[in-house]
Amino acid sequence: MSGFWSAWVIVLILINIGVPLFLFLWAQRVDIPTQPDGTTGHVWAHGALREGVRRLPTWWVVISAVGFVAGIGYLVLYPGFGAFKGVLGWTSQGELAQTREINQAREAALRERVRGKPVEAIAADPEALRVAEVLFVDNCAACHGRDAQGNRALGAPNLTDGDWLYGGDGKAILASIVDGRGGTMPPFGGSLSGAEILELANYVASLSGKPHDSLRAQLGKRLFTNCVPCHGADGKGNTALGAPNLTDGVWLYGGTIAEISETIRLGRHGMMPAWGARLGQENATLLAAWVYAQSHRTGR
Ligand code: HEC
Ligand code: HEC
């Protein structure tokens, strides 16, 4: 703060405290001339109201005195009186740095505790999960949602439902996060006719008991040979390829006939970015533990 502004603030404070303080002290001892009838002699409303003489009540005097002492005491101890730093030397930056140091020490202890532990064990550590949740909100929520329930528009799967494209043990989840994933569903719009795609879509819908046209579904069944290499003869998928299970009623891109048809015609390509280099192995492991915990909560 420059000398001028410091002086300016000091003058304002002196006026703001000085004037009320003077009035406060003066009011205790001033002699108010009193009329024989016990009033000051001031009248209002044509004599209907007369001004009496009363000292300030003691409780009010005490509270005000405490207020003055506290206010002046504050200005002596803490910064506030212009550029004067206060005798305690307190600064907001200092307090921030101190809090940060305490937090860093606490987090370092936590990281020491979880180092080298498997994902499943860390998932049982509430303090680790709190740190991991912050990481998730900062890095993952944009695609998977704040509550990790996924986003169809991006093909980002729900991470809480126990249904996995690539496997749900600690190792598989960690690999998904560290290396990223990219599942490619090839487009069949070039090799299959519109009618064939519609038949296939009805067959796929029938696998999970979705509403479908059973005649078309029957015709679609023979075309499913195109799909068997990745989704398996029973349509239950393949975690090595990230080919989803088509029989469980869980959909990345939607399970209506129209949505399934679009998936078959145009293909899909969900991209999970790789986080290993960006976040480091330790943070990735904490995140894997958080994801693991979300899908293994009691009662699921
Ligand atoms: C840019 C969007 C995006 C971001 C950001 C993102 N993900 Fe993903 N994630 C995806 C998509 C899309 C998939 C599905 C990939 C596929 O279809 O092959 C996926 C898949 C996954 C899987 C595998 C799920 C399964 O069923 O096997 C896990 C685990 C996962 N993400 C965790 C995370 C975590 C943890 C973060 C934060 C570090 C994160 N993701 C950030 C888009 C994203
Ligand atoms: C080369 C392997 C491969 C072949 C062949 C393939 N798929 Fe896929 N399919 C995938 C993968 C991988 C995904 C997940 C795409 C993603 O993660 O974005 C997928 C996704 C889908 C989905 C979306 C599921 C959802 O949850 O929304 C449907 C439906 C589907 N495939 C149906 C078919 C049908 C029908 C065929 C045969 C015509 C077929 N697939 C052939 C690999 C394949």
Atom number, ligand 2, closest to the C-alpha of residue 270: 18
* Domain count within the chain: 1
94 CA distance to ligand 2 centroid (A)? 56
Residue identifier of the C-alpha nearest atom 19 of ligand 2: 185
**Residue 261 resides in a domain:** yes
pLDDT at 242 over 80: yes
**Residue 85 resides in a domain:** no
**Residue 158 resides in a domain:** yes
pLDDT at 298 over 50: yes
Atom number, ligand 1, closest to the C-alpha of residue 271: 12
Q: Report how far residue 106's alpha carbon sits from residue 89's, in angstroms, rounded to the nearest whole number.
A: 26
pLDDT at 280 over 70: yes
Position 46 scores a pLDDT of 87
**Residue 72 resides in a domain:** no
Pocket test for ligand 2, best of 151, 164, 185 (most atoms within 8 A of CB): 185
Burial class (CB in 10 A: 0-12, 13-18, 19+), 257: middle
Confidence of residue 20 (pLDDT cuts 50, 70, 90): very high
Return the CATH number at 175.
Answer: 1.10.760.10
pLDDT at 299 over 50: no
Confidence of residue 277 (pLDDT cuts 50, 70, 90): very high
pLDDT at 34 over 90: no
pLDDT at 120 over 60: yes
Confidence of residue 131 (pLDDT cuts 50, 70, 90): very high
Q: Report how far residue 135's alpha carbon sits from residue 131's, in angstroms, rounded to the nearest whole number.
A: 7
Mean pLDDT of the chain: 93
Position 300 scores a pLDDT of 43
237 CA distance to ligand 2 centroid (A)? 9
**Residue 198 resides in a domain:** yes
Position 146 scores a pLDDT of 94
pLDDT, one tens digit per residue, over 211-234 is: 999 999 999 999 999 999 999 999
Share of the chain above pLDDT 70, in %: 99
Q: Which residues line ligand 2 (CB under 6 A)?
A: 155, 183-186, 188, 200, 204, 226-227, 229-231, 241-244, 246, 251-253, 260, 263-264, 268-270
Atom number, ligand 1, closest to the C-alpha of residue 155: 12
**Residue 281 resides in a domain:** yes
Helix axes 194-207, 214-223, angle to 10 degrees: 100
- Average pLDDT over every residue of 120-146: 95
Which of these, 143, 114, 142, lies nearest to 129 by C-alpha position? Answer: 114
Position 140 scores a pLDDT of 97
pLDDT at 96 over 70: yes
**Residue 167 resides in a domain:** yes
Backbone angles phi, psi at 42, to 5 degrees: -75, 135
**Residue 93 resides in a domain:** no
User: What is the reported pTM?
Assistant: 0.76
Atom number, ligand 2, closest to the C-alpha of residue 269: 18
Position 30 scores a pLDDT of 85
Q: Report how far residue 233's alpha carbon sits from residue 256's, in angstroms, rounded to the nearest whole number.
A: 22
Confidence of residue 48 (pLDDT cuts 50, 70, 90): confident
Domain with 191, as residue range(s), is 128-295
- Average pLDDT over every residue of 128-134: 94
